[in-house]
Structure formats: C-alpha cells, structure tokens
Amino acid sequence: MFIHSNITRHLVFTSCLVCFIFLQSFSTVLYVGEKEQFSSIKKALAASKAGDTIIITRGTYKEGNIIIDKPVCLLGRDLPVLDGELKYEILSVKSDSVVIKGLQLQNSGRAAMNDPGAIKIYDASHIRIEDNRLQNNYFGIFLQYATHCIIRNNTIKASQKEEHQSGNGIHCWKSDSLQIIGNRIYGHRDGIYFEFVTHSVIWRNIAHFNLRYGLHFMFSHQNAYITNYFKGNGAGVAVMFTKKVIMINNTFEENWGDAAYGVLFKELSDCYLSGNRFYRNTTGIFFDGSNRITAEHNTFQANGWGMRIQANCMDNKISRNNFMGNIFDVATNGTLTLNEFSENYWDKYEGYDLNKDKTGDVPFHPLSLFSVIVERNPPAMLLYRSFMVSLMDKSEKILPSLTPETFVDKKPHMVPYDI
C-alpha cells in the first residue's frame, strides 16, 4: 500500500513536470509598443495563448477597460503607463495564474456602485501583482473571491481629500490565503482593508497618511500581521469582529484625534500581540468587548493613553510590556477588573527592590484617580498637571478609594525590557 502510494505520487509529479515543460516550450513573448509587433495591449491579449508573456514597452496606453481572461504574464519595461482617464477600471483579472509586474496604473474611474480600481481580481487564484506604481485611482488593488494571491512591493498613492472620494489602497473581500508584502500605501480611505478574509499574511507594509485607517479588517479570522508600519492615519488601525489574530513587531505611530487609536480592538478574541511599538498616539490600544488577548513584550511610549480597557473585556493577559512616558498608562470605564496585569515595566512605579531581583517588592496600581475622573468627565482634562490633581493621585496610591483594588500589577518590573 505504501509503495503503491509513493509510485502514484511520483507519476503525478512527473506528469505535472512534463506538462510544465511542454507549456513553457510552446509559450511565446509578445511585444507591445509604438514600434513593436502590437500597438495595443488588447490586441496582444487577443493574440496570446495561455502561458504567454506580454512585454509592454515605455509609453502611455489609454485603452479603457482591459480584461485579462487567460493565464498570461504582463510585464512592463521602463514603467509604461496605463491610464484609465478617470472613466474605466484599468485591468480586470478574470483568469487564474496571471502575473502583473512593472506597470504604472493611474486615473481609474470613480463609481460607488461597482468600485472600479486600477487592478481588480474577480474570483481567481494564484495571481501575482508586484513592483507596480499606482497613482490617483479610486481603489488601488481590489480582490474578491481570490485565493493564493501575492501582492508585493507595489507603491499605491491617492490624492483625494475626503473619505467618500476615495476607495481603499488594497481591498480584499471574501478571499483566502493571501500574501500582502512590502507595499507602500498613501492617501487612500483605508490603506489595507480585509473583510471575510482568512489564513492570510500582511508583512512589511507601510501605510501612512491614509484618510481613515492604515489597516482595517472585519470578520477576518486566522490572519497574521507582521512587521508593518502605520503612521499618521486618520483613525489609526481598526480590528473588528475577528478571532485568532497574530500581530507581531508592528509600529503604530502618530495617530492623533478624538477617535484615533494606534489599534482599536472591537469584539476581538483569541489574539496574540508581541513586539509591537505604540508611539505618540492618542490611545495606544483601545479594547472594547475583546477577550482572551495575550499582549506581551510590547512598548507603549509617549501616548495620551497607553491602553484603555472597557469594562466589557475579560480574560486578557497584559504581561512583560513597557509603559513609558504616557499621560495615562491605562484607563477603564468600570470598577470590576477581569483582566490580568503582570510583570510589566511602569516608569511611574515608585516602589523598591530590596533583593535586587528586578521585580518590585510592592504591587503597582497603574490606574490613576485622575484617569478615572477623566473617563467619566472628559472636560476635567483641563486640570491636567495642576497641583490638586497631583495631590489626589498621590493620596489615592496611599489609600485607594475610587480605583479598583484588583486593577494591579503584583510583580512590576524594575527596568525596561529590551524589546
């Protein structure tokens, strides 16, 4: 049985290899350009066969909506320009196994009903889009019902001033097994948007100065977000109605505003955060209805609020993080604490370490009285840095009365972690 199975696998592999060599041997290269064999991309596509490569030479091509309905490779030489003239979706991909590389795509149409983009993938798999430049489009790259696609090293920039005037830079809907790697996204409504997307990776992207969220995902389970940089987005990053997410080594920076966060967690569960940096945000992380989240080895520095945890959150573990230079390290809107703080470094800790084991000998209550007052009465923030506020906070630490006694780190770390 085992030998028969191995022979079958070997025959299948050999057959696939022969088919690949056969297809490669019969594939051709077609050239598009002013002095080439084809004067337009559409003519080259019509003449091409599955597996062919179409090389587009330098120039500007205004051909309306170009539909790719066969597995071909579209390569740009010297960054040719495909212009949608603010009327058309530029490239519509309706076949598996398509490669789009080295093109500048600009001025796609704008329509709220059908969401045109520079590149739109319709129910296709194994698409690779890389090393392209997208400028002034409604949606940049739009994927729907797509699987096993790679979106890599593209620069995606929009110039709209209002959210309703712009789509998202990379928009993914009802898709699976995507790799979004090394893209730069500026000025769109959301930099990267996931909805009903599973088993995917977002890695080494830069999303900044987008109108709403640098990253926005909803109902998108079992995804990983690694080593991305989010700066200066209108509302930061939002993670909603999702479970089983991994977020490692990301930076959330300079997201300011009444409703802006480094990260907003809304109805999130079973998430792991490690090695992330939250620097100079209105709020580093805002937890709302989020449960069973482990946050460790993260740095919260120079934020208004390092972390805000609503009373509807439970079973979250906040351990071995650095809290440094925040106005308020943590805040909550309730009195019952069902979350665990342990072994964090708090720069506001004034305890001692007599046995020199780098763990404070007395517990630390990170929730200040003034943060409780501000949570209930936001205008009270006008009194920040006043003598009375300092006196109240000092008194509360000595004789806690209004802050929850269970909101405590029993083993505060004495020195910052090297993260």
Instruction: Parse the chain into domains and list their residue ranges.
Output: 42-234
**In whole angstroms, how far apart are CA 130 and each of 24, 183, 276, 280?**
22, 9, 27, 32
User: What pLDDT does 387 receive?
Assistant: 63
Q: What are phi and psi of 325, to 5 degrees?
A: 70, 15
Mean pLDDT score across all residues of the chain? 89
Which of 275, 236, 272 is CA-nearest to residue 253?
A: 236
Find the range with the poorest average confidence among 118-122, 300-304, 394-398.
Answer: 394-398
Chain segment 4-25, per-residue pLDDT in tens:
444 434 443 443 443 344 344 4
CATH fold for the domain made of 42-234: Pectate Lyase C-like (2.160.20)
Distance between CA 74 and CA 24 in Å, rounded? 16
Q: Residue 100 forms beta bridges with which residues? A: 74, 129
User: What pLDDT does 398 receive?
Assistant: 58
User: What pLDDT does 397 receive?
Assistant: 64
Three-state DSSP at 390 gives helix
The tokens for 403 are: 């802050």
Distance between CA 208 and CA 229 in Å, rounded? 8
User: What pLDDT does 395 receive?
Assistant: 63
Three-state DSSP at 207 gives strand
The tokens for 186 are: 């500026």
- 10 Å CB burial of residue 9 (0-12, 13-18, 19+) is exposed
Distance between CA 78 and CA 83 in Å, rounded? 16
Q: How many CA atoms lie within 13 A of 119 on its CB side?
A: 29
Alpha-helical segments (H) within 27-104: 41-47
| Strand ranges (E), 28-127 | 29-32, 53-56, 60-61, 66-68, 73-76, 81-83, 91-93, 99-101, 104-106, 117-122
Distance between CA 160 and CA 234 in Å, rounded? 13
- 10 Å CB burial of residue 182 (0-12, 13-18, 19+) is middle
First to last CA, the chain: 52
Find the range with the poorest average confidence among 249-258, 360-369, 395-404.
Answer: 395-404
Find the range with the poorest average confidence among 27-41, 197-211, 358-372.
Answer: 358-372
Distance between CA 303 and CA 257 in Å, rounded? 12
Identify the H or E element spanning 2: helix 2-26
User: What pLDDT does 10 receive?
Assistant: 47
Confidence band for 112, pLDDT divided at 50, 70 and 90? confident
- At 323, which amino acid appears? F
User: What pLDDT does 108 receive?
Assistant: 96
Which of 171, 118, 113, 181 is CA-nearest to residue 146?
A: 171
Place of tokens 């405590």: 408
User: What pLDDT does 12 receive?
Assistant: 37
The tokens for 140 are: 């940049």
Which of 163, 325, 187, 385 is CA-nearest to residue 259?
A: 163
State CA 151 to chain mean position distance.
13
**In whole angstroms, how far apart are CA 102 and each of 81, 84, 276?**
10, 17, 32
Chain segment 185-228, per-residue pLDDT in tens:
999 999 999 999 999 999 999 999 999 999 999 999 999 999 99
Q: In 19-54, which positions are buried (b, 16+ CB within 10 angstroms) versus exposed (e)?
A: eeeeeeeeeeebebbeeeebeebbebbeebeebbeb
Q: Residue 29 forms beta bridges with which residues? A: 53
The tokens for 365 are: 């209550």
User: What pLDDT does 394 receive?
Assistant: 64
Say if residues 266 and 245 touch (Cβ distance below 8 Å): no
